[in-house]
Amino acid sequence: MGFEIKEQWDKDTHGTAQLSYLDFKETLFRIAHWWATHFDLEEYETLLEQIYERITWKLVIQEDGSQNHIIPKINICFPDEEIKIAGESEFLSKPLVENKNEWDDCPSDEDNKSEFEYKYEEDEATMSIKKFKRLKAKQENVVLVEIKDPIYYQEQIIQPQGFDKYTTIIDELMEPEYVLPFGYPTEQLFGLIKNEIHQKQSEIAEKGGKQTFTSSFNLEEEEGVDKNPNVDV
């Protein structure tokens, strides 16, 4: 990666030691033009603003002269608005948990219980309505749920707030080790979920049982995971 960055820098600066203001503007336009989804000026502006928020932090200068840097948080969310964009996606029209339990006859006057689901069917022979029940698909009898449709998510930048009027705030370029590419925090999140699924499946296999689990990982406590302080799940 270092070689590619140097090669691009030499190209943008035309072999000089610095980037002119004109070349800087052309470089920003090229980034927006290449990576925006549509040829749209407002979309270019939005993309460049998002990039700006991802590569800057706040230099906070207190009244007494003390200074510190604050890194904006990256909040990963799965908004309902994005789900609606999926339209008639297959996973929206099917239950996430497939119930394979058998239907059993039950008295028509039996009280409904929360652990069962019920249905009514007409008996063609007697022309009567019969009641059936089966156990609901719960965590203890589900092994795996597979969703092949796209997952819609957003990574929102949460800027620090609550400074008093005597505090000076300056935007500065963030140190490179704190800059995270678009999608990287979400990739880390799903990597953790995948690892936990594999771990739980191994535990289930050892016990010889069938059950699912409730995800309870903590991003800050996982080993081998980027603990960049500006990620917030």
- pLDDT in single tens digits along all 233 residues of the chain: 567 778 888 888 888 888 899 998 998 899 899 888 888 889 999 999 999 999 999 999 998 999 999 999 998 888 665 444 444 444 434 444 567 788 898 888 888 888 888 888 877 777 677 888 998 876 544 444 455 667 778 898 998 888 888 899 999 999 988 888 888 898 888 888 888 888 888 887 777 655 544 444 444 444 444 445 455 54
Kind of pairing, strands 168-173 and 67-70? Answer: unpaired
Residue 56 lies inside a defined structural domain of this protein? no
Domain count, the chain: 1
CA 49 centroid distance within chain: 20
What's the Cα-to-Cα distance from 47 to each of 26, 51, 54, 61, 151, rounded to whole Å? 15, 6, 11, 29, 21
- Please name the residues in contact with 62: beta carbons below 8 A apart, sequence gap of 6 or more: 166, 167
CA distances from 49 to 20, 24, 32, 130, 151 (A): 21, 15, 10, 62, 24
Q: Which residue segment(s) compose the domain that 111 sits in?
A: 101-136
Rounded to whole angstroms, how far apart are CA atoms 72 and 231?
Answer: 9
Residue 108 falls inside a structural domain? yes
94 part of a folded domain: no
- Give backbone dihedrals phi and psi of 126, rounded to 5 degrees, phi first: -105, -5
Answer whether residue 1 is part of any domain: no
- Residues 68 and 58: their CA atoms lie apart, in Å, by 8
Q: Is residue 132 part of a domain?
A: yes
Does residue 116 form part of some domain?
yes
77 domain residue, yes or no: no
pTM of the model: 0.54
Residues 225, 186, 162: CA angle, nearest 5 degrees: 90
Asked, for residue 203, whether it belongs to a domain, the answer is no
